[in-house]
Chain A
């Protein structure tokens, strides 16, 4: 059917001469601990052939990273590793650090997740790449340096000769990840292991880095192991997929088999819980209930059993092995895989689809609804100062530079943009409820520049916030009860009805009353975020500001929180300002969306209009950069790649701020360009709708 499948069978025939490059067999990793050992990896096996790309998918704690660190011999001392890791038939496990060092970086290389931390801050990037070259070859320092510069050019660092002499802190995240890739391919390795290489990056940068990885693979012919939690990233990138859960592989096979013909309920649930950029209709997401098991005390049966809607008694007896689906190399570890196959069950057949109540307010025309939040020409500039004793202003950061937003009752406005675009500053300006430097913030008809302290306190009742990091935003010394009761006490809620109100709120966010006495660290990430939401809803606000509320959560948990937010909105007639960088989530939850770039709104309108026919080149690039968890579609898509990084908000380009990275600008004639360089484009309506784009040459285009 596809080339990947025939490729695998062909290779399977010739094991031996053209055998696997990397072969991992029954790998176990245990971290000894008190009172119980942590069994992080329990029997992982895979084979990687020359030039093949294998995706390892799993949520946090599934053992996917530990597996690859074990392969590299980079686990901390004390970890117990058993099984076999063979590179070209040679056993790597049990080798000394000296022997392994000869293999690392030479035949197996690795790209890590967080590029900001992965480079040594005190050496130049050129030196660090040259070091990788020098360790494994007999070259002079000058030759190694020349090779480092050559590698930097290869991974697309402009001005490589000069940039090689710069230190890591002078590079942006995306550029540092390119440096990491240059380092990984320095010695033409046979295998490159990429551990979440794009997770810490913005989508447009992610698209660039994935392109660089593809180029690196073409250059070296290396096989790649791509570890990720993002089902979109690997859909168009890998040949085969290995899904891990609780330290074990639960399903493996060709990418199309996994995505379209899943046989393990976990994989199916994972795919069902991802909000889709390409699907317009608002079907509720399918959350997987519960949390992954603790790796210290695993139950005897299938580790997914407690969360599995298909679980039967037999599931609890022993852990199922990977069993082949007849006629392919697709394997699934589920005793009911045959049934799923026979009945051709899809995700919605297995998982109960949650019911979200009908949003009654949606029937009222938008213009007739009350304006909950109105922002006009909001400006926030930070002074850039220098000196300790004599502070002087040396510049201005144009964090938010004149934006208009409007949210009406029962509406969700998604505010999206890459890091550094000013979305968090906007949010903080709103939450402060102070008179802004310039512009107006009107909450429920009350302008913040005229209200006194008492009035401001009353406005706060109607405006609440949910933060990104559910751990950091809850005081670890307070119980869930105290946390939720705090806003009530601050606003003089009647003491006799305090307890009943807290219990009511816990119930509202789907937590049982027995949790009230527990401390934040006893909850999982998803549950903590539920407490955060309960706290935000305590005073029955009209408008809830959500600052990346799901970005710190695993997808299966994220789905539950998104469903909860939608449910609460319909039931309590809330309005949301939803700040996020994940455009798929925003498409799912928002009614309207505003796209921000360098302190300006570049496009705004109804979600379906903006996503379906984006008019601003930036929105188009942003949307096209987002991978879709659908291999077929992914392979057919072409990305609009943006060049370079976000310019500094202290020194934005003249005229249109996006022109330095704009793909459209490049196609314009000299005359047409003058408008972009000289005048800043205002947000102009397209057609007769309120869909607007701030581009002189706005043109609607389909990109998803």
Chain B
């Protein structure tokens, strides 16, 4: 089991390397850092620009291989390079990584856990009212892109706030700027800001998990082993939980790795719409600003996240399914 996971981990490290290298080559050949200087007034001296670009490892006149090796050398020692402005990418990433991680981890956990729970219950109550309502809801959610969903949530929040006559749900930024409060007040303020962006990410996840778990659960609902469990003297409810759900979870767990990529894409829009200064926002700004090293840093971050999710899937899979563990 440990051997199996270690081998997987080694594969993933290799994949992260490959994915990030591709991202670098793509960014370095398609983005032009020079434009940043050309748009400045007064126009800086071209020779000076050349020098600055080379110094920041962004000069498209230097051979790509050379730039790549220099970049890689930095990454290996933990240095992600410099932005176009000459500041450290590391600083940016350090400031933003926590913001994004909070959003996607909460979104993934809330989305998957509640999606699995609702999907499993809907399967047990197949064609009953709960199942019908949850199915329709899931399809509606699945057909709305995250961008639109986020905006709808904002509009809804405004309506709720108006109705209550107070600012319950906040939809701009991560916390209220210049808030003077004790730690409790700070926590409440953070939560008020957190609810909507998390929800806009979690709902899409929830809908996907709901459908998938429902199908998997339906497959095992009439399985002989569930009948055996009931024949032993378990009530239907306990047999469902201990035998059916446990078995139906196995395929869903592998799904976690795949949906995580979608989640990351959603986070980019969510952060931009709710004005969170996270990695998603950084990606949008850095592409617009031809900031090669930042783009690659975000791409690398995504790769690490997706592959960590895959590793989490593997661990859960091995834990749930003895057939993997034993052989």
Q: Which residues of A contact B (CB under 8 A)?
A: 72, 74, 76, 97-98, 101-106, 109-110, 112, 114, 117-124, 131-132, 135-136, 167, 169-170, 180, 183-184, 186-187
Contacts and interface: CB of A to CB of B under 8 A. Distances in A.
Nearest to B229: A120
A40 to B, nearest CB: 16
A135 B230 contact: no
A121 B234 contact: no
Nearest to A78: B127
Given A97-B236, A120-B247, A112 B322 contact: no
Contact of A118 (B228, B233, B246): B228
Nearest to B11: A389
B233 A135 contact: yes
B223 to A, nearest CB: 6
A98 B235 contact: yes
Contacts of A74: 227, 230-231
B3 to A, nearest CB: 14
Contacts of A72: 230-231
Contact of A167 (B222, B229, B237, B323): B323
Interface residues of B, number: 25
A122 B321 contact: yes
B247 A170 contact: no
11 contacts: A72-B230, A74-B230, A76-B222, A104-B232, A105-B232, A120-B226, A122-B246, A122-B247, A122-B322, A135-B234, A187-B233
B228 A120 contact: yes
Nearest to A76: B222
Contact of B231 (A109, A117, A124, A136): A109
B314 to A, nearest CB: 14
The interface residues of chain B, by DSSP majority, are classed as: helix
Given A122-B247, A167-B322, A117 B233 contact: no
B64 interface: no
A119 B222 contact: no
B228 A180 contact: yes
Contacts of A184: 231
| Interface pairs A-B: 5 shortest CB-CB | A105-B233, A117-B224, A105-B232, A132-B232, A135-B233
A414 B236 CA distance: 47
Nearest to B124: A77
Contacts of A117: 223-225
B65 interface: no
B233 A136 contact: yes
Interface in B193-209: none
Nearest to B222: A76
Most A C-beta atoms less than 10 A away, residue of B222, B225, B326: B225
A245 B224 CA distance: 25
Contact of B233 (A106, A114, A123, A170): A106
A563 to B, nearest CB: 35
A122 B250 contact: yes
Contacts of B323: 121, 167, 169
A114 B227 CA distance: 12
Contact of A104 (B226, B230, B321, B326): B230
A635 B243 CA distance: 41
A664 to B, nearest CB: 36
B99 interface: no
A110 B230 CA distance: 10
A112 B224 contact: yes
Nearest to A77: B236
Given A120-B226, A123-B322, A167-B322, 14 more contacts: A72-B230, A74-B227, A74-B230, A97-B235, A104-B233, A105-B232, A109-B231, A110-B228, A120-B247, A121-B225, A122-B246, A183-B232, A186-B232, A187-B233
Contacts of B110: none
Contacts of B233: 101-106, 132, 135-136, 187
Contacts of B228: 110, 112, 118-120, 180, 183
Interface string B247-281: 10010000000000000000000000000000000
Nearest to A168: B225
Contacts of A112: 224, 227-228, 231
Contacts of A135: 232-234
B320 interface: yes
Contacts of A120: 225-226, 228-229, 243, 246-247
B326 A121 contact: no
Given A105-B232, A109-B231, A122 B326 contact: no
